[in-house]
Structure formats: C-alpha cells, structure tokens
Amino acid sequence: MNTSRRVIPAVALVAAAALTVPALAACSGTSGSGGGDAKGGGKLEVTASFYPLAFLAERIGGPYVRVTDLTKPGVEPHDLELAPQQIAALTKADVIISLHGLQPAVDDAVAQSGVGHTVDAARLTTLEDHGTEVDGRHHTTGDDGSGGASREDAGSDPHIWLDPVRYAEVARGVGKALEAADPAHAAAYGRNTGTLVAQLGALDTAFRDGLRRRSTDTFVTTHAAFGYLAERYGLVEEAINGLDPESEPSPARMKALHDLARREHVTTVFFETLVSDRTARTVAGDLHLRTDVLDPVEGITDESRGRDYFAVQRGNLAALQRALGVRS
C-alpha cells in the first residue's frame, strides 16, 4: 500500500501563513506597493499546488498572472515531494493556492513560506468524509456534511473540483484572492471569475441533463475520487480501494463487489490515467465487466481525454453515460 497517499483531514487550518479570503481582502500587495506591483516584472506571480488550482488561476488571471504548477504533468499529486529549489522558489510567489490535506509536502512548505497571500481551497467550500461507498441518491448537498459516506476506510475527501458546483465556489475565492493581491486588475479578475463560474454552471447542467435517463445509478472505480460528483447527481460510487487507489481489495470487499455487480447491473470498472490499471482490470476480469477511464482531472497528460478541465469532464460525462446505460 502506498502510505504516502493517506489524506490528512482537509478541514485543518493551514499554519499561521494561511489566510481566509476575507483576510486577503484587507491585505495590500506582497511587494509592498499596495497597487499590485507584482514580483514578476508586472505580472502577478501565482504558485498553484496542482492542476485544478493552476487552471483556475490561469483562467481568472488571464494575461496579468504568471502561474507555476508545483505538480508536473504525469506526477500523481498525492505523492508530490518538493525539491529544495521548489521550496525556495515558493517564497518568491505573490500568491500561493493550495488544498490543505491533499499534499502534505506542500502544506509544510506553504506554512514556512512567509508569503502573505495564501489561499486554502479546502476553506472555500465544504468537505466531507467519504469511504468506499458514496450514495448520493438520498443526499442533499449543502447539509451538515455527514451524509453519503461509508465508514469503511473513510477520510476527508479533497476531490472537490470534480463537483462543478463546489469548484465554482473555489473559483470565486481564488478570484477574490487575486483581486486583493493585485487591485489594479481587480475588475478584470472579477469579469473572468464571472465567466468561469457561468461555464461551470453550464457543465453542471450538462451533467444533470446528460445523466437523467440512466438505467442504473451505480458505478465502480478504483478509488473514491468521485464522491462529490456522485452526491451532486444522485449516483452511487463504489470504490474498490477507498481513498487509496493502489491498495489491494480484501476478500470481503471482492465478494461485496461481486454481489453488487449482479444486483445493480454494473457494467464497468473505471480506472484513471495517473495510476496503474492493474487492479481495475483484475477486478473487471473476475466480475466479467468491461473497463473504462474516469479521470479525476488531477493533471493533464497526453493520455488525458481532453486538453483542459472542461474537455476532460465532458469525457467523464460520456463515460458515465455509457456505463450507466443512459437512453437517448
């Protein structure tokens, strides 16, 4: 088992360096100019811990920001270790955007960076505990966060970006942070945030409409990355390995999956692009099911079904439609 993937509770506070968005609004630029005179020769230097946050910064910041993604394409974000030069470079950022609990090495570096404008995406929306099963059929998003989780292998789930509604909440917070760090371009950041939120609203509608006429609610994945998406659209995610996609399922879990596949008319075992598909193919062979990709959009590579977040999510929708037997 790859113990480095263990997810630390994401509702923990970032150390003293982390600020809430309201606090960000009260700060002047980190260069001391108070007018957004960024360190990068006129561009705001933004460091994001991994792709979903870098994508937000690029879309919202546009030509006024230079974005550095700490997680290179093809690297599994949960396993990221920072080189000394990356840690040193982090201190030169104007804004740092991370998701506390997802990448412990980043959490430590952010806490020691001394950068004034830091954004913890985990504090911009609600997080829940998810285990190997997430049943969204009777779950109302926006409640106290206790619904929808099995207690087996449960832990705070950081995969908030796979729910377009929660991701839009994070986008709004990132937009406010950029406005606070660079007031000279606040109007542009505000417009770009509005455009991005509208696009995420359209994606939410596409998922709702596109999954409406399905034959089954249940899909099987190698690990529990899609709990928020399942809750949002009334689906049931059954994960082979819970929050760790590289662990081996127990005999009891395998028997439960056999029973589930027959009872719920499961057709597909999903795997993802950045980890081995060995477990998925083994389980699918045992259950006489097919395999397909459901991408957690943790990074874009040549194997991704699309070149950005929206394209990959549309690919995920199409894969779910096939697996759930959506009728045209």
The enclosing domain of 80 has a CATH number of 3.40.50.1980
- 171 within 8 A of 60, measured Cβ to Cβ: yes
Does 126 score more than 50 pLDDT?
Answer: yes
Q: Is 288 exposed, middle or buried (0-12, 13-18, 19+ CB in 10 A)?
A: exposed
Determine the pLDDT at residue 130. 85
Q: Which domain holds residue 198?
A: 3-120+161-205
Tens-digit pLDDT profile for residues 271-319: 887 777 777 888 888 888 899 999 999 999 999 999 999 999 999 999 9
Indicate whether 285 belongs to any domain: yes
Asked if residue 28 and residue 64 are part of one domain, the reply reads yes
Q: What is the pLDDT of residue 49?
A: 98
> Are 182 and 220 within one domain?
no
Q: Would you state the pLDDT for residue 57? A: 98
Report the share of the chain in percent with pLDDT over 70. 80
Scan for tokens 């412990």, then name that residue.
Answer: 104
Q: Are residues 107 and 245 located together in one domain of the fold?
A: no
The region of weakest confidence among 43-47, 142-146, 169-173, 277-281 is 142-146
pLDDT for 196 beyond 80: yes
> Which range is least confidently modeled, 41-45, 148-152, 262-266, 300-304?
148-152
Are 199 and 248 contained in the same domain?
no
Statement to judge: residues 217 and 167 lie in one domain: no
Check whether residue 167 and residue 301 sit in a common domain. Answer: no
Which range has the worst mean pLDDT, 4-8, 48-52, 77-81, 128-132? Answer: 4-8
Q: What is the pLDDT of residue 166?
A: 98
What's the chain's Rg over C-alpha atoms?
Answer: 20
In a domain, 135, yes or no: no
In a domain, 20, yes or no: yes
Q: How many domains does the chain have?
A: 2
Whether residues 215 and 93 share a domain: the answer is: no
Q: 251 and 277 share a domain?
A: yes
Confidence at residue 247, expressed as pLDDT on a 0 to 100 scale: 59
The reply to whether 177 and 251 lie within a common domain is no
Q: Tell me how far apart the alpha carbons of residues 307 and 292 are, in angstroms, rounded to a whole number.
A: 19
Do residue 70 and residue 168 come from a single domain? yes
Enter the pTM of the model: 0.82
- The reply to whether 104 and 214 lie within a common domain is no
